[in-house]
Amino acid sequence: MTREPTATVVVVCRDRWSLAPETVHTLLARTDSRHAVVVVDTGAPSAVGAAFDRLAAVDRICVVRRPEFLAGNEARNLGADGVRTEWIAFVENDTVVSDGWLETLLGLGERTAAASVYPAYLEPADPEPIVHGVGADLDVGGPEGRRFLREHQHHLGAPWSAVAAGLEPVARVQGEPHLLVMRREFLDAMGGFDEGLLGWFDHTDVALHHLRLSAESWLAPDATCLYRSPPPVSWSDLPSFSLRWGHEWFDRSLTHLCTTWGLDPNDGEWATHEGYRTAIRRGVYARWPRVSAVIDHAVAPIDRVVAQRWDARRA
């Protein structure tokens, strides 16, 4: 008889809570009931927390709570604490998983002996979803303290229908935090997720651990994860959105990543990430570039205050 691997699903927030009740409901409907589901509630609005409680009352989820908002890696470590299943599936709460996603990913992980597996990441577009990511290869080189890192992405922005049929499972070292299924023993070998990475470069750090430990990560294109990136952002989500997409968390995460791995903080590679951060952030404020740029500059001091208050509460 073929052994069926078991996973625990850990659902965390990265920058928005408003989508979570809907996405968690969908996840439960599309996940085999033998897998436990842990929902990490760290300062969610009361209406969202109540929705989690209603799901917990009638379904198989366990809600883990803390009063203050936690960065993504902190929430992942909290959700994984005490989990002893062979696999842990980390899912962000603004994503929509495909039917049978977890069995597909676990099956590939078992066949390949991979340390982690991930789906094709899509994002909504008109008239059909486009590729947000299908894994990346990394080149890393140079002297300590001035090492460079180059990401090689595939099919970014392509219509999903144009590339789906041609994709096969493949080992690519860098998945994304929207959905990543990982062996418990690999998470332990990493030392857990690095909580110095507040909202950025968590996927880069995990990929570098794969390289350090000579471990493989595989793309399973038969499973998909629809990432619903901002906008929109509800009023209740503005504080967490401000932290995740503000300058403070980006700059601190980049400094921490470079210090940890001996990377050059002045490498031009980081400009791509900064450009993406700016585009998403300004897209929330207004559809007109000049107007959104003015608003972005105007609210930057508010972002710094929000980050300082977050630090003070944690201290």
Distance CA 245, CA 250 (A): 7
Distance CA 122, CA 228 (A): 9
Count of structural domains, the chain: 2
| Domain annotation covers residue 1 | no
| Domain annotation covers residue 93 | yes
246 and 219 together in one domain: no
Question: Residue 58: pLDDT above 90?
Answer: no
79 and 185 together in one domain: yes
| Domain annotation covers residue 251 | yes
195 and 221 together in one domain: yes
β-partners of residue 9 are 37, 89
| Domain annotation covers residue 73 | yes
Per-residue confidence band for 137, with pLDDT thresholds at 50, 70 and 90: very high
Tens of pLDDT, residue by residue over 33-47, are: 999 999 999 999 999
Tens of pLDDT, residue by residue over 64-74, are: 999 999 999 99
58 and 167 together in one domain: yes
Tens of pLDDT, residue by residue over 73-126, are: 999 999 999 999 999 999 999 999 999 999 999 999 999 999 999 999 999 999
| Domain annotation covers residue 2 | no
| Domain annotation covers residue 267 | yes
Domain edge (last residue) among 198, 227, 256: 227
Q: What is the mean pLDDT of residues 270-295?
A: 94
Tens of pLDDT, residue by residue over 248-274, are: 999 999 999 999 999 999 999 999 999
Question: Beta-carbon neighbour count of residue 245 at 10 Å?
Answer: 22
pLDDT of the residue at 2: 59
- Tell me the average pLDDT of the chain: 96
| Domain annotation covers residue 99 | yes
201 and 242 together in one domain: no
Question: Beta-carbon neighbour count of residue 82 at 10 Å?
Answer: 9
Residue numbers of the domain that contains 298:
235-314
Burial class (CB in 10 A: 0-12, 13-18, 19+), 314: exposed
Identify which has the larger pLDDT, 250 or 58. Answer: 250
168 and 279 together in one domain: no
**Residue 83 near residue 184 (C-beta atoms within 8 A):** yes
pTM, entire model: 0.97
pLDDT of the residue at 60: 81
103 and 185 together in one domain: yes
Tens of pLDDT, residue by residue over 206-218, are: 999 999 999 999 9
145 and 270 together in one domain: no
Domain edge (last residue) among 227, 245, 278: 227
151 and 242 together in one domain: no
289 and 174 together in one domain: no
pLDDT of the residue at 266: 95
CATH for 122? 3.90.550.10
Kindly report each contact of residues 144-148 with a partner whose C-beta sits within 8 Å and lies 24 or more positions away, as own/partner: 144/262, 145/262, 145/264, 146/262, 146/264, 147/261, 147/262, 147/263, 147/264, 148/263, 148/264, 148/267, 148/269
Domain edge (last residue) among 227, 261, 290: 227
